């Protein structure tokens, strides 16, 4: 006995150790999952920023190529034609961030005056071209639309006179491709809200000229279609949405430095001003755009991982540890009670064989309820613990049928249980513990664990000894564990079952991948729907009934049909929970596919119907055979009566013959000594 107790204690401590180890693993796995999800989200956001910039610059390059095509299609492009072309593009609406679309003409030495006169004749009366006529090559901005007050400041400016712009223009001239300039300050800037800028150039060559070599391209150059950009305006139009807890910096070089900072999203200083350890994640990406390399440095800000996700590992770990400790104390208590009950049971069994007085003493001080009944179910003994548990005094309950302590429907069947055991020795719960309910005197139901033993008396009769332990506290603990399980389940964000979250109106707020796969709807489509849109007409009334139960009890488990996008019905087992722990009450529903189970149940139902039909047919056959046997029996009984009557007549005749023989002085002819005179 002591070794069993010792082993039980070791087992309890081992369970605690493994539970705590599992709690640590739950914390670690959840923490890694949260970090991995955050890292994946950050990688996607970083790549999205890069791709947005590249896609937008490709769009701008297309605009420039369109401007070049306009010059190729015309002998000359007048100012009003260029203005109409740019207005038709509606760049301020469809290409936000671009400052304008212009054309810079190449001015050869000595042609400045003729150039100015030509532009003035086109309606620009106050036009003044470049005054730098000493270089072999000059350029002048002659068109720049929309011609607002900023762009008017650039008309006539010789961009070839500035080294950064000139490098990009020469690269465009020699390659024939679009060319991105380095960081500059646009001539459109004023002293207010000065922004970094850059330009993109697309060369325009003389019509019909050969441009297969660098020398031919230089000789055929007529000008540049170009666009100036203010970087802050560009980024405001480029970013599709606000980036929460993410910052990035754009550098005009492959090797970032503070001097090469082109744009800072949130913090207006370059990232070199911050220690590297302040960012949870960071990434450096290179963008090769129109012959120039930009460096994009993206990093997270404090609070990037939402508090709900960041606290999830701690919450799950805490819940797991609390559950482990609760389970430990529960098992210890259960083990201790079991050992006490086992010791008490053995002691009571031994004493009952030796002395009724000793048994009575044990019953008096037993912590568990002990009730003894006879073969008729009449209570013979009830100890003080039983009085306290049932609410009946011993003198009140002794002599009553034990059915008075059993709630329906088991009460009505209890006598048949006893009769079956006494007849066949078959008992479902004899010697086996079972959780049942005890009917208290005041009508309340008390959860108990019932163990029944059988004592065979010397007179051949049986007594049944029931040991009942109050499980009220354990039921409370079980309920607390179930509540914890519900909380634990609601915190799980991923499931192989389908998951829908809806508000009180039924509008879907979230759906997981499993439900999308079941239904065929996309995640975006589901979030535009109401849960009633998914319920089939066949199950809508049943679902409404269960919704009332959920609203009243907080949760319910039921079966329902949903209709998939392609129209076929989905068989689900629905576990729905109503929670008001959030700011707005929510319905959490898990959907498990039970198509196979429904198919199995249908098959089983069909088999049962076939079996019932077979039983009915066999019953009819047996009834017919019984009727035939009754007919034959009646015939035989009638024949037997006839034969018996004839035999009695013969015996009477033989008696008369014997009597006549005696009267004549002769011996009796027939031996009838076997007859009793009273038989005739």
CB 196 within 8 A of CB 262: yes
Residue 260 has pLDDT above 50, yes or no: yes
Total length of the chain: 680
pLDDT of residue 485: 60
DSSP letter at 581 equals: S
Determine which of 178-187, 210-219, 671-680 has the lowest per-residue pLDDT on average: 671-680
pLDDT tens profile 513-563: 888 988 899 989 999 999 888 887 766 777 778 888 888 888 888 888 888
Question: Which position has the token pair 């066999």?
Answer: 618
Phi/psi region, residue 611 (left: phi>0; alpha: psi -120 to 50; beta: rest), is alpha
Those residues whose C-beta lies under 8 Å from the C-beta of residue 135, and which sit 6 or more positions away, are 109, 160, 161
Residue 382 has pLDDT above 70, yes or no: yes
Give the Cα separation of 99 and 102 in Å (integer): 10
Please report which confidence band the pLDDT of residue 133 belongs to, taking 50, 70 and 90 as the band edges: low
pLDDT of residue 273: 53
Helix (DSSP H) and strand (DSSP E) numbers for the chain? 20, 19
Please report which confidence band the pLDDT of residue 597 belongs to, taking 50, 70 and 90 as the band edges: confident
SS (H, E, C) 113-145: HHHHHHHHHCCCCCCCCCCCCCCCCEEEEEEEE
DSSP letter at 404 equals: G
Q: Which of 20-29, 80-89, 229-238 has the highest mean pLDDT?
A: 80-89
CB 176 within 8 A of CB 217: yes
Instruction: Report the percent of the chain where pLDDT is more than 90.
Output: 16
Give the Cα separation of 392 and 407 in Å (integer): 15
SS (H, E, C) 180-245: ECCCECCCCCCCCCCCCEEEEEEEEECCCCCCCCHHHHHHHEEEEEEEEEEHHHHHHHHCCCCCCC
Give the Cα separation of 273 and 267 in Å (integer): 10
Give the Cα separation of 36 and 39 in Å (integer): 5
pLDDT tens profile 199-231: 999 999 999 899 999 999 999 999 999 999 988
pLDDT of residue 5: 45
Please report which confidence band the pLDDT of residue 495 belongs to, taking 50, 70 and 90 as the band edges: low
Give the Cα separation of 329 and 435 in Å (integer): 21
pLDDT of residue 491: 58
Residue 6 has pLDDT above 60, yes or no: no
Residue 628 has pLDDT above 90, yes or no: no
Please report which confidence band the pLDDT of residue 7 belongs to, taking 50, 70 and 90 as the band edges: very low
The structure tokens listed for 601 are 């149940």
Spatial CA neighbour of 106 closest among 218, 221, 205: 221
Determine which of 215-219, 350-354, 565-569, 672-676 has the lowest per-residue pLDDT on average: 350-354
Q: Which of 559 and 342 is assigned the larger pLDDT?
A: 559
Beta bridge partners of 643: none
Residue 492 has pLDDT above 60, yes or no: no
Determine which of 331-340, 497-506, 619-628 has the lowest per-residue pLDDT on average: 331-340
Cβ neighbour number for residue 179 with a 10 Å cutoff: 25
Which phi and psi angles does 248 have, rounded to 5°?
-145, 155
pLDDT tens profile 281-293: 889 999 999 989 9
Q: Which of 194 and 540 is assigned the larger pLDDT?
A: 194
Residue 582 has pLDDT above 80, yes or no: no
Q: What is the mean pLDDT of residues 429-436?
A: 78
CB 72 within 8 A of CB 132: no
Cβ neighbour number for residue 76 with a 10 Å cutoff: 7
Those residues whose C-beta lies under 8 Å from the C-beta of residue 85, and which sit 6 or more positions away, are 66, 67, 70
The structure tokens listed for 227 are 């666009």
The structure tokens listed for 656 are 């008369």
pLDDT of residue 213: 93
Residue 135 has pLDDT above 80, yes or no: no
Give the Cα separation of 172 and 226 in Å (integer): 11
Determine which of 75-89, 353-367, 405-419 has the lowest per-residue pLDDT on average: 353-367
Residue 41 CA, distance from chain mean position: 19
Q: What is the mean pLDDT of residues 399-418?
A: 83
Q: What is the mean pLDDT of residues 118-144?
A: 70
Is the preceding peptide bond at 409 cis, omega within 30 degrees of 0?
yes
Residue 282, helix vs strand vs coil: strand
Residue 507 has pLDDT above 60, yes or no: yes
Spatial CA neighbour of 455 closest among 444, 443, 467: 467
Q: Are strands 569-579 and 586-593 parallel, antiparallel or unpaired?
A: antiparallel
Give the Cα separation of 320 and 314 in Å (integer): 10
Give the Cα separation of 627 and 631 in Å (integer): 6
- Average predicted confidence (pLDDT) for the chain: 82
Q: What is the mean pLDDT of residues 27-35?
A: 83
Give the Cα separation of 270 and 276 in Å (integer): 12
The structure tokens listed for 197 are 């800028």
pLDDT of residue 421: 81
Q: Where are the beta strands (DSSP E) in 503-539?
A: 508-511
Cβ burial, residue 464 (10 Å; 0-12/13-18/19+): buried
Please report which confidence band the pLDDT of residue 581 belongs to, taking 50, 70 and 90 as the band edges: confident
Determine which of 152-161, 269-278, 601-610, 628-637 has the lowest per-residue pLDDT on average: 269-278
pLDDT of residue 463: 86
Those residues whose C-beta lies under 8 Å from the C-beta of residue 314, and which sit 6 or more positions away, are 27
Those residues whose C-beta lies under 8 Å from the C-beta of residue 101, and which sit 6 or more positions away, are 63, 64, 67, 86, 89, 91, 144, 145, 225, 226, 227
pLDDT tens profile 631-674: 777 777 776 666 766 777 787 778 888 888 888 788 877 777 76
Beta bridge partners of 269: none
């Amino acid at each position: 006995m002591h070794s069993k107790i010792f082993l039980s204690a070791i087992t309890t401590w081992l369970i605690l150790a493994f539970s705590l180890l599992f709690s640590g693993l739950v914390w670690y796995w959840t923490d890694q999952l949260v970090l991995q999800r955050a890292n994946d989200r950050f990688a996607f956001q970083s790549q999205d920023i890069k791709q947005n910039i590249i896609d937008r610059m490709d769009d701008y390059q297309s605009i420039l190529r369109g401007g070049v095509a306009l010059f190729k299609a015309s002998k000359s492009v007048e100012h009003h034609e260029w203005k109409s072309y740019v207005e038709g593009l509606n760049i301020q609406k469809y290409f936000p961030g671009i400052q304008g679309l212009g054309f810079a003409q190449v001015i050869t030495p000595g042609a400045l005056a003729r150039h100015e006169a030509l532009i003035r004749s086109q309606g620009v009366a106050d036009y003044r071209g470049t005054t730098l006529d000493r270089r072999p090559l000059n350029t002048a901005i002659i068109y720049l639309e929309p011609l607002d007050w900023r762009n008017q400041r650039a008309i006539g400016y010789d961009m070839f006179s500035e080294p950064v712009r000139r490098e990009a223009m020469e690269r465009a001239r020699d390659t024939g491709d679009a060319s991105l300039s380095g960081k500059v300050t646009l001539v459109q800037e004023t002293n207010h809200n000065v922004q970094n800028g850059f330009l993109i150039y697309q060369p325009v060559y003389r019509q019909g000229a050969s441009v297969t070599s660098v020398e031919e391209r230089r000789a055929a150059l007529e000008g540049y279609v170009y666009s100036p950009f203010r970087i802050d305006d560009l980024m405001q139009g480029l970013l599709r949405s606000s980036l929460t807890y993410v910052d990035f910096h754009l550098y005009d070089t492959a090797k970032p430095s503070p001097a090469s900072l082109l744009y800072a999203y949130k913090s207006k200083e370059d990232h070199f001003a911050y220690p590297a350890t302040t960012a949870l994640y960071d990434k450096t990406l290179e963008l090769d755009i129109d012959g120039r390399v930009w460096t994009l440095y993206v990093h997270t800000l404090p609070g990037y991982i939402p508090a709900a996700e960041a606290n999830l590992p701690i919450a799950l770990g805490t819940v797991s540890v609390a559950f482990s400790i609760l389970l430990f104390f529960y098992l210890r208590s259960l083990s201790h009670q079991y050992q006490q009950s086992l010791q008490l049971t053995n002691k009571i069994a031994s004493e009952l064989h030796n002395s009724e007085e000793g048994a009575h003493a044990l019953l008096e001080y037993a912590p568990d309820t002990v009730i003894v009944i006879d073969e008729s179910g009449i209570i013979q003994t009830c100890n003080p613990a039983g009085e306290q548990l049932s609410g009946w005094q011993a003198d009140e309950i002794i002599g009553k049928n034990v059915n008075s302590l059993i709630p329906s429907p088991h009460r009505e069947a209890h006598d048949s249980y006893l009769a079956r055991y006494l007849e066949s020795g078959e008992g479902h719960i004899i010697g086996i513990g079972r959780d049942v309910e005890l009917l208290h005197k005041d009508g309340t139901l008390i959860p108990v664990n019932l163990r029944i033993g059988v004592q065979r008396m010397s007179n051949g009769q049986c007594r049944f000894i029931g040991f009942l332990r109050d499980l009220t506290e354990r039921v409370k603990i079980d309920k607390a564990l179930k509540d914890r399980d519900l909380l634990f389940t609601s915190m799980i964000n991923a499931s192989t079952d389908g998951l829908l979250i809806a508000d009180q109106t039924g509008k879907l707020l979230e759906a997981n991948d499993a439900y999308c796969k079941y239904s065929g709807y996309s995640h975006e489509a589901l979030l535009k729907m109401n849960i009633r849109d998914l319920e089939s007409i066949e199950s809508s009334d049943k679902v409404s009934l269960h919704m009332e139960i959920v609203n009243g009890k907080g949760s319910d488990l039921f079966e329902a049909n949903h209709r998939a996008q392609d129209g076929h019905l989905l068989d689900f087992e629905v576990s729905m929970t109503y929670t008001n722990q959030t700011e707005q009450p929510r319905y959490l529903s898990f959907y498990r596919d039970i198509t196979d189970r429904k198919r199995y149940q249908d098959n089983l139902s069909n088999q049962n119907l076939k079996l019932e039909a077979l039983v009915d047919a066999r019953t009819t056959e047996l009834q017919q055979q019984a009727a035939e046997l009754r007919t034959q029996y009646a015939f035989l009984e009638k024949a037997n009566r006839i034969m018996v009557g004839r035999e009695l007549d013969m015996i009477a005749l033989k008696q008369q013959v014997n009597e006549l023989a005696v009267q004549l002085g002769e011996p009796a002819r027939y031996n009838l000594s076997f007859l009793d005179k009273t038989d005739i």
